[in-house]
Structure 1
Amino acid sequence: MARAAIVVLAGTDTHADTGRLVNALETAREFAETDGDEGLLIFDGAGTQWIAELTDPDNEYHDLYRSVRDEAAVCEYCAGAFGVTESVADAGLDTLDDHDGHPSIRSLVEEGYEVITF
């Protein structure tokens, strides 16, 4: 059994950012499809901007996002800082605010998660 926290930090500005997002989604899906594995998908920093785009059914990666959406959460502080709080709420995603408004990476490590950033 493997446990991973997949953290999307890449914004929406460049082709390279899109590549990092897709790799994160593919990694999250691989964990979701493997019996006994546990994966969390966390949108943090500029990565929170992806929520509005990925929830659009016309987005090229919408179906991939939907395949891992149940494992996803968003940094509460960063959603506010990047102006996407409403998009996150509309998407029905949980927000994480364990450490000064941000997800606690330390707690994830303590709980045995490997942290993978994209």
Structure 2
Amino acid sequence: MTNAAVVILAGTDGHANLGRLVNGLETAREFARNDDDELELIFDGAGTQWIPELEDEDSDYHDLYAAVKPEASACEYCSGAFGVDEAVQDAGVVQLDDHDGHPSIRSLVDDDYEIITF
């Protein structure tokens, strides 16, 4: 059994960031498909901007996102800072504010999660 936290930090600008997003979602899906693994998928920083784009059914990566959405959460502070707070709420994605408005990476490490960032 593996505990993995996939953290998407890449913003929506540029081809390289799109690659980071897709690689992060593919990695998350690999863990999600293994019933013995625990997965946390966290959109943090500029990565929160992806949620409204991925919610669009016309997005090339909507189906990939939909496959891992049940494990997805977003940084509450960053959702607001990057102007997507309402879209994240509308998507039904849980917002985390464990550490000064941000997700607590330390608590994940304390719970033996491997942290993988994209």
TM range (shorter): over 0.9
Instruction: Compute the displacement of 1:35 (Å).
Output: 2.0
Alignment partners' CA distance in 1, 2:51 and 2:37: 24
Instruction: Compute the displacement of 1:81 (Å).
Output: 0.3
Consecutive unaligned residues of structure 2, counting only runs of 5 or more, are: none
Consecutive unaligned residues of structure 1, counting only runs of 5 or more, are: none
Instruction: Kindly report the root-mean-square deviation, in angstroms, between the aligned alpha carbons of the 2 structures.
Output: 0.4
Alignment partners' CA distance in 1, 2:85 and 2:33: 29
Match of 1:102? 102
Q: How many residues align?
A: 118
TM-score where L is the length of structure 2:
0.99
Match of 2:50? 50
Identical-pair percentage:
70
TM-score where L is the length of structure 1:
0.99
Match of 2:27? 27
Residue type of the alignment partner of 2:68 = V
Q: After superposition, what is the alpha-carbon deviation per residue over 1:46-102, rounded to whole angstroms, capped at 9, x for unaligned?
A: 000000100000000000000000000000000000000010011001000000000
Residue type of the alignment partner of 2:30 = E
Alignment partners' CA distance in 1, 2:72 and 2:109: 17
